[in-house]
Structure formats: C-alpha cells, structure tokens
Structure 1
Amino acid sequence: MSKNNKNELGSIILHSKMIQASYGTTSIVTHLIDMVLVSVVIFFYEAEIGLNIWLVGLAYIIYMVWDAINDPLVGHMTDRPFKFTRKRGRRFPWMMISYIPWLISFFLIFTPPDIDNQFVIFGWLLATLCLYDFLESIFTVNFFALFPDKFRESSERVSASAFVVYLGFLGVVGAFLIPGLFIDFGDIGSYVVMAL
C-alpha cells in the first residue's frame, strides 16, 4: 500500500482527505478565472478600451457559439489514446500541457492593441476569448473527466465533491474581491496587473 492510499478494497484505492482536498484546490483557480472573465472583461472593453458595446456583445455571442462547438470536440480529441498519454494517464498530460498556456491566454485578453480601430480591437477580443476557451476546455474537460477515474467509491466521490464545491466557492468569492485590490478605474495597466 502506497502512502497516498488510505485503504484498499480489492482493486479500488481510497484516497486520503488530503488527496481529495488537493484535487479540489484546482476548482479555486478555475472558478476565480471564470468569474473574473464574466465580471470584468465586458466592463474593461466597453468602459476602459472604448469598444462599442454592440461589438463586445457580438464577440461574446460568437464566443458562446464557439464554446458550444469547442467543448465536445476537445472532449473527443483528448479522450483518444496518444503516445504521450500512456505513461501518465489519459487526463493528466493534457492538464499539464494546457495549464500555463491557459493562464497566458487569460492575460492576453487584457492586453489589446493600443489603436483606435474598433474592428481590430473586436478581433483581438474575439480571438483571445476563443483561444482562452480552447485552452480552458482542454484543462477543465480533463480535470472533470479525471474525477470518476480517480474516485471510484460513492462515499469517496461525495467527500471529494464537497472539497470541489466549497473550494470552488472560495474562487468565486475571490473573483469579486481580488480584482478590486488591483484595478484602478481609468488605468488600463492595472487590469494587466490584475490578470497576472
């Protein structure tokens, strides 16, 4: 029995509360970033950058359509076996490959080109939102698909789910508190600092 295992029942490995909590900590980051995306980006582009609100809305509509198409495609792509997923499992390599690029794509959303052309700024917003969603999908699809593979017993799933939910709630709360510590209205650079 390895030190990560609390108990073994046949081939089913039960994980310690610490392992369950470590799995749940990922939901802090995912919820924090997603809620900042929802609560800050529209204001940033409309009020700070000066992009017409209709173009911001159109970018979000196209982004939502992209999201509806992208998630199943990413799920299908990452569910297939690849040479690089044999050693570390089907899910973990995808999470590791996408994590840093996903965070960089979030940062890029807050660094639009410094020009007055509305359509270039619209294109930047749309491209960075879609890139963000693609990379976020690679990470989160595999994160959530890992759950039933990792936690096989129903009692263990309930316990691990509690960590995911409660720690995710901390991410949501943080999304409404943390940006206010960094954002100075009228200072576009403060949004870039917040995104870091």
Structure 2
Amino acid sequence: MPKQVDHEERRRRIAEAVCALIDAQGLEGVTLRDVAVRAEVSVGAVQRCFRTKEGMLQFALGHIGERVTERAHGRVLGSPAQSAASTVGHVVGEVALLGDERRAEARIWLAFLAAAAVNPALAAGLRNSYTGLEGLLARLVEETGVDAEGARREARTLLALADGLTGHMLVGHRTAAEAEELLHAHLAGLWARAGE
C-alpha cells in the first residue's frame, strides 16, 4: 500500500527549510537541492509541491508572514484584560521582531523585503501581510480613542517604524533594547496625544 503524504505538512516543512536556508545564506543561497536536503525530502517531492522556485519562495514568504500575524493576533486574544494601549505595544513588538528569539525571523523577513523591491510577486505577498497587520493595528489604535482616520495613519506609521527598527537592529545601528526604547517612546507620545 502506498504511503499517504500530507501535502500541506510537506509544504510547511519545505517552507521551514527555505526559511532556514535564507537565515543561513540569504535568499540567493536557496536552491532546490539544498531545500530538499534540509526538508529531508527528494528534489522531486519539492518539485511536486512547487512547480517553480518562485512559487516555493512565495509560499515561504506567506508562511513567515502568517507566523508573525498569528503571534500578533495571539497577543490580542491572549490578554483580553490588558488595555488597548498596551495591546498595541505588544502587537507592534511582535511585528518588529526585536527579541533574540526573533532574530532569525527578522533576517528572513528583511531578505524577502529586499528581494521584493525587484520581484513583483514577492512584493504582492508582502503587501498582503502588511495589509492584514495594518488593519489589526488600526482597530487596536482606534480602541484607544483615536479617530478612525488617525488610527489608520498611526497603523501605517507603526508598521514603518517596526520595519525600520528591525533593520537598524540587524545591522547593529541600534541594539534590541534601544529599538524597544524608541518604540515605547513613540507609543507614549501617541497615547499622550490621544489623551489630549
């Protein structure tokens, strides 16, 4: 009897292998052969899951974006008793990937971001992730008493700040602690303006 294959699980395993290779060698270091070795599957299995390398990279980008988004949503659902303001801070902290435990994800995310500047398909995937996160942040900011237009503007600002801080931390321009301090200072200013 042929072995049953969970194709979605295999696709996720391949995506994890892609992400591990990007973390270790950058996006240009991802080859089908290395992905197969890392995922412990044959090259043919990788090709059956993804018709092209481009499709494989798009899936891996979506995979990492979903992980970040799920953690952000988890911060909202996991702490219903906290204030809307502290929830915004926790969610932006998740998006900024500043902690040591998020360093690999930060490198992978920024590798995709750099590649997306010249790859329309990857850019579309990033826009999808940003749109979801922006909507979540806008709703949370609005719950603090900021009007709808101001909340949307602040959500865009927070996403840009998170990405910028991630990049600054990765290249050593800021430590993770300094980046967190800048993020908290921005949020404190927001809440002071919202309370006026």
* TM-score relative to the length of structure 2: 0.30
Of Structure 1 and Structure 2, the greater helix share is in: 2
The structure with higher relative contact order (CA 8 Å, sep 6+) is 1
Of Structure 1 and Structure 2, the greater strand share is in: 1
